[in-house]
Structure 1
């Protein structure tokens, strides 16, 4: 788990007086660089973050084999796109919420409160750290899918653009939700609180089970949460157009995907601004 006790020189320089107050964005970018370096220096955290979705993908791809007759898409290819989505949400909602809860318990956030760092800059730093780590994780998963399961790379600029905006909206929304969700992490039960929603959402969002094969009620529930739309967006960028007919709506629904992920990003930001605390409740 990443532990920070004070600003590094880059953050301090960004906060130093230069005739005008540094912007929240400038402080956030400096904070993001620090957070990212700390993440990649923490070998245990990095190994766990990268290894879990990779192991799950290899296990699922080895156990479940089959091909959709209409599109020619294999089960392993569908798993690959789903695990990339899980990697985004796991790095943000799950890992980030636990990390921030740990920083709140050990007093790191209390110390940061005494620096010029505003809440918004702290949020930007965390989002940038999640973006960097999840991009590395996504590249590994996509590489495995390409080598072992014949997953294609995006075939043109439009598909690369789709991959990009789905990734960015997914990271932003889920990271902000993870920051807000950290308020619920208390003591020994933190791991269970973080993992339970992740497990449920994976089963109902088209990661392990093809979405159109789920009961309609579960499809409806999944449609309210970001993981379903992240995974669907990944499928639209990485799978052939023919597979769109297998989606519950019979198409990729890019407009609705962007709308739902954007709404979650805005909702997550509002929750963070309203509920984020530098100190734990036990600190008064």
Structure 2
């Protein structure tokens, strides 16, 4: 077997197994909860007009919500790494040839698969809840595909870097505050042009805004571009920013994960478990 493909095969196999486990009967309600609650919120926005534009707020929000769920892969990756560092999963991966690389690829597969399921749960009923989504054009699906692929890699690889840096599940939980804040200023729930200029500049540094913009460019009619910055979908900028974040994450994640794995030992895992018992006790 080619050594270069071994971690890919192992990671893919591991990721698919974990994905099936994530959607077994015992976990199904938990997995469906957030997509269903989000659809409910979109339902109540469907007849609200954005300012005097004549566009329904629900239609404007729906593509951004899809971008938000892609961005939440960052938090999922942080949580996976924090928990599996404490339960010894990462230590066992470290003991295998190419184990850390296969582990990282497996987590990408698991998290990406989960998010794709969430997106299907949102998008399929969403087409009946809100009007005006552009789903009959090949170009829309092509744009959706490349934005989704780059967005998944960018957010999850950065999540892996952050997950390797946090020290415990409590700190991992605290990471949700800045991530949700970033989502809030990125035009997901309300067009970014309604926000102060300085906040628009901050949002454009990070991938979440570009995820939402890319999704809107794929799914919204062309005349809705007037609510965007510069009245443009800015495909080239979206491609450039998401590619840059994806490349940065793919470079940093294996390095940081490898460094974290080298610090793992049986004694440290036992220490993690003792601290976990103290937190729950």
Q: TM-score, structure 2 length as denominator?
A: 0.85
Q: What's 1:87 paired with? A: 69
Task: Tell whether the 8 Å contact from 1:229 to 1:261 is kept in structure 2 after alignment.
Answer: yes
- For these two proteins, the number of residue pairs brought into alignment is 264
**Cα drift, residue 71 of structure 1:** 6.3
Task: Tell whether the 8 Å contact from 2:154 to 2:246 is kept in structure 1 after alignment.
Answer: yes
Deviations 1:183-203 (A, max 9, x none): 233335235323112211121
Task: Tell whether the 8 Å contact from 1:81 to 1:235 is kept in structure 2 after alignment.
Answer: yes
**Cα drift, residue 81 of structure 1:** 1.1
Deviations 1:89-116 (A, max 9, x none): 11x1111210111000111110111122
Q: What are the within-5 Å matches in structure 2 for residues 113-152 of structure 1?
A: 113-152=94-133
Q: What's 2:55 paired with? A: 73
**Cα drift, residue 41 of structure 1:** 2.8
Tell me whether 1:104 sits opposite 2:85 in the alignment. yes
Deviations 1:17-41 (A, max 9, x none): x5x5462322222222223223223
Which of structure 1's runs of 4+ aligned residues deviate more than 4 A? 68-72, 279-282
Q: What's 1:244 paired with? A: 225
For residues 116 and 38 of structure 1, do their structure 2 counterparts lie closer, same or farther at Cα, with a shift above 3 Å needed?
farther
Q: What's 1:172 paired with? A: 153
For residues 205 and 275 of structure 1, do their structure 2 counterparts lie closer, same or farther at Cα, with a shift above 3 Å needed?
same
Tell me whether 1:211 sits opposite 2:192 in the alignment. yes
Q: Which runs of 5+ in 2 are unaligned?
A: 270-281
Structure 2 distance, partners of 1:143, 1:177, is 29
For residues 168 and 254 of structure 1, do their structure 2 counterparts lie closer, same or farther at Cα, with a shift above 3 Å needed?
same
Q: What's 1:14 paired with? A: none
Specify which structure has the higher proportion of helix: 2
Structure 1 distance, partners of 2:3, 2:245, is 31
Structure 2 distance, partners of 1:270, 1:22, is 17
Q: What are the within-5 Å matches in structure 2 for residues 192-207 of structure 1?
A: 192-207=173-188
Tell me whether 1:48 sits opposite 2:30 in the alignment. yes
Task: Tell whether the 8 Å contact from 2:23 to 2:31 is kept in structure 1 after alignment.
Answer: no
Q: Which runs of 5+ in 1 are unaligned?
A: 1-17
RMSD: 2.4
Structure 1 distance, partners of 2:40, 2:236, is 32
